[in-house]
Amino acid sequence: MGDAPLKRENEGDELGQKAKKQKGDPEADPSGNGEECGEENILSGFKTTAVLKDSAREKTIFLHGKLDEQEAVVILQKTPITAASVAEMFACSKLKLEMRNDIYSTYHLQPPAHLNVLKATVVCPATEKHVKKYQVQESFLVEETGEDYLSITLPYIQEKSFSLQWVFNILEKKAEADRIVYEDPDPDVGFVLLPDFKWDQKQTHDLYLIAIVHQRDLKSIRELTAAHLPLLQNICTKGKEAILERYGLPASKLRVYFHYQPSYYHLHVHFTALASEAPGGGVERAHLLSDVVQNLRADGGFYRQRSLSFPLRADDGLLAKFQQAGRL
């Protein structure tokens, strides 16, 4: 989900199902320590060919390689420390002094295995787009007019025919049905709300859910008009109510927004905790749902006419189209 959605393509096949269990499914291993679950370790055969990106701050590493002779991307991320685990961590960890100076001291702390877990996200088979998505690259800010969208962006989207099968699998409950937090099945104003894979669901300070609309002809905010206000208001109201009921987080502590450009072209809304630093939350890409609703109330064709700015990476095919058209 969120930035992450491309990683769920092809989950319908056998390898995808195994990978899904590796991505933190609590039913796969209630202990969280990877033992006694009887599952095959699909990553034992992963052969790394390149490190796409790593971040000491976010404690993540993105790897490109081969898995069962197929191109694959593996994302490893340290899971957050929860308040509930602190007492056990202090009581059961191995502690080795590294340095002491006056009132300051640092230690190497080795917690028990079940409190020292990495989240592994597997994309397999991975396309060139997946690999490029996770590479560190230079970015450029593009200003897209309404005409640009029709003459450059929309033809590019249609030409590439990006797969949305994983989205349809969710909407049809062929995949991830057990992860759905809330659903309004109405074909016009309905949606499915489920956690993004970037969130491990163990604490709410980094809460991240995605609302995916049932309408299949809406690609992004560019296609929204005043006629879609009931849909947007329904997502806003019922999404917030569902999150309050399930997680106890009130609307005043939520950030609810769209991405433009989105990472996949089926309309969806991001619900994140206000306290979190969710990827793509910057002013150059995020559009608050409340602002979108107000803009459409004032002008029903606002997003079909308004110029919208967004960042594109150096290797993005859409950037090349804007350059060819002399718009950058």
> Which residues are known catalytic residues?
268
Element (H, E) at 159: helix 154-160
Cα–Cα distance, 223 to 226 (Å, whole number): 10
Cα–Cα distance, 215 to 168 (Å, whole number): 11
Q: Phi/psi zone of residue 181: left (φ > 0), alpha (ψ -120 to 50 degrees), beta?
A: alpha
Cα–Cα distance, 92 to 145 (Å, whole number): 59
Cα–Cα distance, 323 to 143 (Å, whole number): 12
Cα–Cα distance, 272 to 285 (Å, whole number): 15
Percentages helix, strand, coil for the chain (3-state, rounded to 5) are 35, 25, 40
Element (H, E) at 319: helix 317-324
Cα–Cα distance, 257 to 285 (Å, whole number): 10
| Residue 32 near residue 114 (C-beta atoms within 8 A) | yes
Encoded tokens for 44 = 């034992």
Alpha-carbon dihedral sign for residues 225, 227, 233, 239: negative
Q: Which phi and psi (to 5°) does residue 23 adopt?
A: -90, 35
Encoded tokens for 148 = 């640009």
Encoded tokens for 27 = 């039913």
Owner of token pair 């899904």: 20
What DSSP string describes 260-287?
SS-SSSS-EEEEEETTS--TT-STTTEE
Q: Which phi and psi (to 5°) does residue 139 adopt?
A: -120, 155
Encoded tokens for 284 = 């150059």
